Amino acid sequence: MTPDPVATPSGESGAAPNMFTRERIGEGGAARVATLVALLDAQEQQPAVRRLRDWAFEALAPQPGESVVDVGAGTGTELRRLAQAVAPNGRAVGVEPNPGLREEAAKRAALMGSAATFVDGDAADLPFADGAVHVLRCERVFQHLTDPQAAAHEFARVLAPDGRVAVLDSDWGTVISHPGDPDLVRRYTEANQRRMPNPFSARHLPAQLRTAGLVVDHDIGSAALIMPPRALLGSGVVHRNADAAVEEGVLTREEADELLADAMAAARNGTAFFSVTMYAVIARKPDRALGRSAG
């Protein structure tokens, strides 16, 4: 799972969403892993994240004895929840490409007596046989994929007939950033979007899952992740993105400094507002053997 920008408890200035991509695994050693863990732990406290996760969990309705998979499992919080739901005879496996996060997830599972296990893998290359998974979830991974359709096809491949999948992701076209000159904010935001492989991932999920042969539920969950104003002071994300926009020629140094000054002043007095909307799409694999579709 790749988080949207939320400051770590320690105000880690180097934190950024793309730190979770496979290409950056290994950078920074143990200190970087600690930052990633802190980011995930901080984000789990966000009410919007908890609400959307609860909604998706209820829609997936995992049952005892089923096989469940979390793609991009992070520290394993949601997989432990799934493992408890499918106990005592079910199987719960987290797919996480970062070895440091896998180690942390396994450690937490052991401490909590969870049967969850964690393996390496990619969203488009899962280590499971055809039709082996009853329930699959994937949170904020698609926005970092260059070929999200391949992942959707892979999810359909591993799902059993009547299997359910929940894909949760952000759509960076929904960003609200206040205050700031509207033109500067627009250029800053669009520059950030261009650096992401799949910034508008959420809006494409229903079509991608249907193309993979899945039946998509009409009800799509949503929640706006709103960054607490003072979190902007410690995250470092705004400054780093502004510097990148200057390097790319999107903003002048003077324009970037103006944007930063407005944002930081508002953060200090509690009037800053930054949000991005997350969506959860539920899909099911048709049970063609029975001549019907689930859902």
Residue 75 has pLDDT above 80, yes or no: yes
Averaged pLDDT score across all residues of the chain: 89
> How high is the pLDDT of residue 16?
52
Tokens found for residue 72: 């991009």
Cβ atoms of residues 145 and 197 within 8 Å: yes
- Chain mean position to CA 276: 12
Q: In this structure, which amino acid lies at residue 105? A: A
- Can you tell me the mean pLDDT for 276-290? 88
> How high is the pLDDT of residue 237?
82
SS3 of the chain? CCCCCCCCCCCCCCCCHHHHCHHHCCCCHHHHHHHHHHHHHHHCCCHHHHHHHHHHHHHHCCCCCCEEEEECCCCCHHHHHHHHHHCCCCEEEEECCCHHHHHHHHHHHHHCCCCCEEECCECCECCCCCCCEEEEEEECCHHHCCCHHHHHHHHHHHEEEEEEEEEEEEEEEEEEEECCCHHHHHHHHHHHHHCCCCCCHHHHHHHHHHHCCCEECCCCEEEEEEECCCHHHHHCHHHHHHHHHHHCCCCCHHHHHHHHHHHHHHHHHCCCEEEEEEEEEEEECCEHHHCECCC
Return the higher-pLDDT residue of 63 and 40: 63
Return the higher-pLDDT residue of 3 and 22: 22
> How high is the pLDDT of residue 93?
98
DSSP H or E segment with residue 210 = helix 201-211
Residue 6 has pLDDT above 50, yes or no: no
3-class SS of residue 190: helix
Residue 169 has pLDDT above 60, yes or no: yes
> How high is the pLDDT of residue 19?
57
> How high is the pLDDT of residue 61?
98
> How high is the pLDDT of residue 18?
56
> Confidence band (pLDDT; 50, 70, 90) for 291?
very low
> How high is the pLDDT of residue 29?
75
> Confidence band (pLDDT; 50, 70, 90) for 295?
very low
Residue 199 has pLDDT above 90, yes or no: yes
> How high is the pLDDT of residue 113?
92
Residue 135 has pLDDT above 70, yes or no: yes
Q: What is the CATH number of domain 17-285?
A: 3.40.50.150
- Can you tell me the mean pLDDT for 56-69? 98
> Confidence band (pLDDT; 50, 70, 90) for 21?
low
Residue 81 has pLDDT above 60, yes or no: yes
> How high is the pLDDT of residue 7?
44
182-195 pLDDT per residue, tens: 999 999 999 999 99
> How high is the pLDDT of residue 227?
86
Return the higher-pLDDT residue of 262 and 30: 262
The Cα 195–Cα 133 span in angstroms is 33
204-236 pLDDT per residue, tens: 999 999 999 999 999 999 999 998 888 888 768
Residue 168 has pLDDT above 80, yes or no: yes
